């Protein structure tokens, strides 16, 4: 039996999203066509835009659909033409790589040992001279540890210095309130598949006065900022996923249920395996995310071993061509190499059950018992 515990890589597709995708596939028209089928397709597109905008906490006209969260991040960095980019050291590669290649300067904002951005360092970097506008980019929640960043403080500090602000909310969307308009950021990225929507659809939210330079030139789609016929089925699925995620955030008990699952998992493993380290466990985190380090056992070995036991988990980001690589996030936190190399991520979601959590804890005895370092972990104390 397979147990999926890797929602931060991509969430299980929601059944209602499949219905929305199928309905959009049945629409014959191009959203840019003026005839009746085209108008029906356009209506579907704009309905989805409104649904995603509601989740983001802004107006529909502020949304630009893209092909992924990665594209949204790249567009955010290439658009405002800043002379300098300041990015936290724990950002996703879709921020760090293009930022490092931009002319005009690039600097990393350090984080503390919990993985929280250093606001004092941000102030110091903003005080340095610059030849033009500065863009500060900080994720709302880290994809590996789940640690929440002080987004409001980041925006406040950046605005006092006259800088633009981009928030990567890809991992946070659907798990915490985004409230783009209230937050006061200039740009924000989201992705459908983190919410249980289709893969290959993203959104960049931007304030109206921000000028962007399109990455893809061609027609006038998405206000001439993202050329090409829109992926209507994917966008419709994004909208439906956003609708469900917003309902979970505002009208039910799902978020607390996921918190209870995470806490149950961590408490059971900590009681049975005292050597385990919950990375970022002392600061606010996403309710669904556990980053667990088992000293003496390589993360890659753990991922493979749990897979053989029927559990899908991960180590680090899932955006590395299927490779398990050393985590720049854990390195930025100054986590000891022995811990960083043994850290795995367990992330739950709307379909995760208590039975799956209990089964995972029980599987630890089997997995750790087969691998070097088991004695140091106290594996003999794990429940059968």
Catalytic residues, which ones? 319
Distance in angstroms (rounded) separating the CA atoms of residues 4 and 328: 25
Distance in angstroms (rounded) separating the CA atoms of residues 149 and 155: 11
Cβ atoms of 205 and 56 closer than 8 Å:
yes
Distance in angstroms (rounded) separating the CA atoms of residues 100 and 133: 16
Distance in angstroms (rounded) separating the CA atoms of residues 311 and 315: 13
Q: What is the largest distance, in Å, between two alpha-carbon atoms of the chain?
A: 70
Nearest to 138 by CA among 129, 127, 128, 126: 126
Distance in angstroms (rounded) separating the CA atoms of residues 339 and 371: 16
Cβ atoms of 161 and 127 closer than 8 Å:
yes
Task: For CA atoms 90, 91, 94, 96, give the dihedral sign.
Answer: negative
């Amino acid at each position: 039996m397979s147990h999926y515990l890797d929602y931060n890589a991509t969430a299980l597709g929601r059944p209602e999203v499949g219905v929305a995708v199928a309905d959009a596939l049945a629409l014959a028209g191009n959203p840019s066509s003026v005839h009746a089928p085209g108008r029906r397709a356009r209506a579907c597109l704009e309905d989805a835009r409104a649904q995603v905008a509601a989740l983001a906490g802004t107006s529909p006209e502020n949304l630009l659909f893209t092909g992924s969260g990665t594209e949204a991040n790249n567009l955010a960095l290439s658009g405002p033409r800043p002379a300098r980019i300041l990015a936290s050291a724990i950002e996703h590669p879709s921020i760090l790589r293009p930022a490092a290649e931009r002319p005009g300067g690039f600097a990393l904002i350090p984080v503390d040992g919990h993985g929280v951005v250093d606001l004092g360092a941000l102030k110091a970097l903003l005080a340095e001279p610059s030849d033009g506008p500065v863009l500060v980019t900080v994720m709302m929640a880290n994809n590996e540890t789940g640690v929440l960043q002080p987004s409001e403080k980041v925006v406040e500090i950046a605005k006092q210095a006259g800088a633009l602000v981009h928030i990567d909310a890809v991992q946070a969307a659907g798990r915490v309130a985004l409230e783009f308009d209230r937050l006061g950021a200039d740009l924000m990225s989201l992705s459908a598949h983190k919410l249980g929507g289709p893969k290959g659809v993203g959104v960049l939210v931007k304030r109206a006065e921000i000028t962007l330079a399109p990455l893809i030139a061609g027609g006038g789609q998405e206000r001439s900022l993202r050329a090409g016929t829109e992926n209507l089925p994917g966008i419709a699925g994004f909208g439906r996923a956003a609708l469900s995620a917003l309902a979970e955030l505002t009208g039910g008990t799902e978020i607390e249920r996921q918190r209870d699952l995470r806490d149950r998992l961590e408490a059971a493993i900590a009681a049975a395996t005292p050597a385990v380290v919950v990375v970022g466990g002392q600061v606010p985190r996403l309710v669904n995310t556990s980053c667990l380090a088992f000293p003496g056992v390589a993360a890659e070995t753990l991922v493979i071993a749990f897979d053989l036991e029927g559990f899908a988990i991960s180590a680090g980001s899932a955006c590395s061509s299927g490779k398990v690589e050393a985590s720049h996030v854990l390195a930025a936190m100054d986590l000891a190499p022995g811990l960083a190399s043994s850290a795995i991520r367990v992330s739950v979601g709307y379909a995760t059950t208590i039975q799956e959590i209990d089964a995972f804890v029980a599987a630890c005895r089997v997995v750790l018992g087969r691998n070097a370092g088991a004695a140091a972990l106290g594996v003999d104390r794990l429940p059968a």
